[in-house]
Structure 1
Amino acid sequence: MTQVLPNARRRGWRQRVVGGLVVVFLVGAGGSALAEPATKVFLNGVPAPVFFNDGDSFRVLAGQYEGGKARLAGFNTLESHGPVHQWGDWTYKELYVIAKLATLNGRNGEWHCESDLSTDTYGRTLWWCPDLAVDQVRKGLAHAMSISSEPARPELLAAQAEAIAAKRGIWAHGVPDYVLTSLHSTVEATEGQKTYNRLVSSRDGSSIKWRHDDAYTECQEVCDVGFESPERVADATQALRADARLAGFIGNYDDARLDTLLRKFAMKQDYSAQLVSPDDAAALATALEELRVAGRIGRAGITSCSYYVDFKRRFGGGKAVCLKW
Structure 2
Amino acid sequence: MPKRSLSFLLAAACLVTLMLVPIGAQGVVFTRVFVNGRSVPVTFNDGDSFRVHAGEYRGAQCRLAGFNTLESFGPAHQWGDWHPYELYINAKMATYNGRRGTWHCTTDGSRDGYGRVLMDCPDLATDQIRRGYAHAYQIDDTPSRNYYLRAQQDAIRNRRGMWAHGVPDYVMTSIHSADEDRSREVHYNRLVSVWDAHTESMQHHDTYEECSWVCNDEIRVDMQPVRAAARRLREDAQIAPLVADFFNLHLVEFVRRFRRLGVLPEYVQNPARDLIVRRLERERANGMLGETHTERGACMIHVPFERRYGRNQAACLRGHGTTPGGTGHH
Q: How high is the sequence identity, in percent, across the aligned residues?
A: 45
Q: Is structure 2 residue 325 aligned with structure 1 residue 315?
A: no
Distance (whole Å) between structure 1 residues aligned to residue 51 and residue 157 of structure 2: 33
**Alignment-mate amino acid for residue 15 of structure 1:** F
Query: Structure 2 matches for 1:93-132, cutoff 5 A?
Result: 93-132=85-124
Corresponding residue to 2:203 among 202, 208, 211:
211
CA deviations over 1:37-85 (Å, ceiling 9, x no partner):
1111111111111110000011112221111111111111000010100
State yes or no: 1:53 paired with 2:45: yes
Distance 1:104 1:302 in 2: 31
Task: Name 1:261's counterpart in structure 2.
Answer: none
Counterpart residue number, 1:264: none
Aligned equivalents of 1:306, 1:245: Cα separation in 2: 33
SS at match of 1:225: strand
Q: 1:225 to 1:141 in 2, by over 3 A?
A: same
TM-score (normalised: structure 2): 0.75
Displacement of 1:118? 1.2
Moved over 2 A (4+): 189-195, 225-242, 289-292
The answer to whether residue 282 in structure 2 is matched with residue 290 in structure 1 is no
Shift of 1:122: 0.7
Quick one: which amino acid aligns to residue 17 of structure 1? L
Unaligned 5+ segments in structure 1 are 1-7, 247-282, 293-297
Q: Give, in whole Å, the separation in 1 of the partners of 2:27 and 2:296.
A: 37
Distance 1:78 1:147 in 2: 16
Distance change (3 Å), C-alpha of 1:320 and 1:123: same
For the pair 1:76 / 2:68, whether they are aligned, the reply is yes
Q: Select the residue among 242, 245, 262 that pairs with 2:281.
A: 242
Deviates more, 1:233-242 or 1:110-119: 233-242
Q: Where does 1:171-186 land on structure 2 (aligned, <5 Å)?
A: 171-186=163-178
1:14 to 7, 10, 21: 7
Equivalenced residues, count? 272
CA contact (8 A) 2:218 2:296 kept: no
Q: Is the 8 A contact 2:193 2:199 kept in 1?
A: yes
The one-letter code sitting in structure 2 at the alignment partner of 1:19 is A
Q: Structure 1, residues 117-169: CA drift from partner, whole Å, max 9, x if none?
A: 11111111111101100000011110111111111111100111111111110
Offset of residue 191 of structure 1 = 3.8
Structure 2, unaligned runs of 5 or more: 221-256, 266-275, 320-330
1:257-296 aligned at under 5 Å gives the runs 290=290, 292=292
Distance 1:93-1:304 versus aligned 2 partners, 3 A rule: same
Match among 135, 144, 159 for residue 136 of structure 2: 144
Q: Residues 17-36 of structure 1: CA distance to partner in whole angstroms, max 9, x if unpaired?
A: 111111001112649xx943
**Higher strand content, 1 or 2:** 2
Distance in 2, matches of 1:154 and 1:146, equals 12
TM-aligned CA distance change 1:52 to 1:235, over 3 Å: same
Q: Which residue does the alignment assign to 1:305? A: 299
CA distance in 2, matches of 1:239, 1:313: 50
More moved, 181-190 vs 134-143: 181-190
Is contact 1:210–1:227 with CA below 8 Å preserved after alignment? no
Aligned to 2:159: 167
Give distance in 2, aligned partners of 1:307 and 1:233: 30
Equivalent residue for 2:187?
195
Q: Counterparts of 2:278 and 2:314 in 1: how far apart (Å)?
A: 45
Query: CA offset at residue 291 of structure 1?
Result: 6.3
Report the Cα offset of residue 195 of structure 1: 2.3
**How many Å separate the matches in 2 of 1:87 and 1:16?**
20
Deviation at 1:116, TM superposition (A): 1.5
Which segment is superposed worse, 217-226 or 92-101?
A: 217-226
Contact 1:29 1:104 in 2 (8 A): no
Q: 1:74 to 1:291 in 2, by over 3 A?
A: farther
RMSD between aligned residues? 2.9
Tell me if structure 2 keeps the 8 A contact 1:196–1:209: yes
8 Å CA contact 2:217, 2:296 repeated in 1: no
